[in-house]
Amino acid sequence: MSAVTSPLAWAHVQPAAARRLLTGAIDAFAERGFQATTTRDIASRAGMSPAALYVHYPSKERLLFEISLYGHRAALEILTEANEGGSPSDRLRAMVSAFTAWHAEHHTIARVVQYELAALSPEHFAEVATIRRAISAVVEKTLTDGVTDGTFTVEDLPGTTIAVLSLAVDVARWYDPTRHATPQALGTLYADLALRMVQA
């Protein structure tokens, strides 16, 4: 099972009822947004009464935090694994390909991760922001390596880092599996575009 195509492992969420609530919440948050989703909606997606939610989670916000935290960790892991070994070009290609494919494959989770940050409590947001900085740092490091060894020409390093990540992240906004290419094909296309953006 490749890192690119692996489904997010929610097996660690126990018991099964808690997992059903979590996956129901992902679908609901991605569809309507956090604020427009009711606890009654989440509970009914899990086949339960509204009160059952509070047996497993102390609040609706906590549910969002669990999703956001695991989503961010998965995204960082995907990037870090793709960044192991090879030339800067190889690593950038692997990272953009995997990161893009992940945002397409898991566009529901990715939407929650990228667009519901403002609904997190300040403490929970701070925890997630740490992971986000690490994600930027991984990409910026690879670009720096490429500039150093002469394979990349980058005029504005932080700006180009944001652009490369931004390209992949925005996939979550528009991607529809019934209308667009496979996540892998999109990853390949985007990796090519990103390489063109920085090649010397």
Shortest distance, CB of residue 22 to its own copies, whole angstroms?
21
Token code pair at residue 67 = 């999703």
Q: Give the whole-angstrom CA distance, residue 67 versus residue 6.
A: 17
What residue 60 binds from DNA, its own copies, none (CB within 5 to 8 A, per partner kind)? Answer: DNA
**Site membership for its own copies, residue 13 (CB under 8 A):** no
**Site membership for DNA, residue 32 (CB under 7 A):** no
Using the contact rule CB under 7 A, the part of the chain among 34-42, 75-83, 97-105, 134-142 near DNA is 34-42
Q: Which is nearer to its own copies, 149 or 170 (CB)?
A: 170
What residue 89 binds from its own copies, DNA, none (CB within 5 to 8 A, per partner kind)? Answer: none
Angle at which helix 16-32 crosses helix 107-115, to 10 degrees, equals: 70
Select from 2, 130, 166, 178 the one that contacts its own copies (CB under 8 A).
Answer: 166
Other C-beta atoms closer than 10 Å to the C-beta of 146 total 22
φ, ψ for residue 152, nearest 5 deg: -115, 150
Q: Give the whole-angstrom CA distance, residue 172 versus residue 158.
A: 22
